[in-house]
Structure 1
């Protein structure tokens, strides 16, 4: 399949029962400003572009939301337990982006989409949610060209912040995406 635009990605996900079930399950939590993001979206696109017939296993399925009124990590763990009780076969990870800026010493985020925009790589800065009438919505703060071109590059925040170069480069090394998806190209911060 050729993926040219956001509509193609949305169609791809809509036709994937497993992905739609995950989105429906996440929606049951009724979280403010929620998204299923990162590798959940990126891996699907790369699997299709590589012609894989089997889904590449995910280390986790990231559900993010934004609630500045309750930033207790214990709440996130309780939400994960709820998701596991609905579907124990999914490696759920739930994070409130209202507190996650503290993890990497960044300025506070204003929303989940703002947090997604400030993930380390542009190809990871992707999220899906269900709107009214279960309309599938894709956010891609840095566009979709990098994920379609299978080019990993730092997001602007990581590119501009020398303090965060180590985080980006460490993730690139640890994730080693090109081992699974051989067409993936990595742009290192020194090259960007």
Structure 2
């Protein structure tokens, strides 16, 4: 794992979400999916520009060509769902839609750190359920339901349990 925080000189920088979730499920269910995105997140309140994120994606593409990079500053991601501003990458990840996706990893000084605001149990047990902002009865629940319909994860990893 590349030490993105040092190499990109970004604060609170992590690899997050789908890459980790999908690779864990591939191992658990003996399946081999194609990497469809590599989410790199960071937190910088001083530059909320999407242009900066695109420049960072281009830098990553130069270092590791042919990978599906997606870089997002968690300091601006609260705008996507009209939430209060996030205070850190941890806060941003805690607002991801489903529990097994709300996970991130970071390598620093040859140590891997894991961030999992909602724990790792659902990820390792193949359970997909909404995080608190997306549970039934909340204003964001329809986003969670639409994601589950569109992602069709249970057609790829047959043993998943998807809660609505």
TM-score, normalisation: structure 2: 0.95
Residues 7-45 of structure 1, C-alpha deviations (whole Å, 9 max, x = no match): xxxxxxxxxxxxx2xx34565112100010001111111
- Asked if the contact 1:126/1:141 (under 8 Å) is kept, the reply is yes
Residues paired across the two proteins, number:
164
Matching residue of 2:30: 51
- Asked if the contact 1:154/1:168 (under 8 Å) is kept, the reply is yes
Residues 43-70 of structure 1, C-alpha deviations (whole Å, 9 max, x = no match): 1110110123x4x112210000000011
Runs of 4 or more off by more than 2 Å in structure 1?
Answer: 23-27
- Asked if the contact 1:26/1:83 (under 8 Å) is kept, the reply is no
1:149 equivalent among 119, 125, 150: 125
Where does structure 1 lack aligned partners over 5 or more consecutive residues? 1-19
Which structure features the higher share of helix residues? 1
Mapping of 1:92-131 within 5 angstroms?
A: 92-131=69-108
Matching residue of 2:39: 62
Provide the C-alpha distance between the structure 2 equivalents of 1:122 and 1:139, rounded to a whole number of angstroms.
12
1:170 equivalent among 146, 152, 163: 146
State the superposition RMSD in angstroms.
Answer: 1.4
Shift of residue 162 of structure 1?
2.0
Matching residue of 1:13: none
Where does structure 2 lack aligned partners over 5 or more consecutive residues? none
The answer to whether the aligner puts 1:72 opposite 2:57 as a matched pair is: no
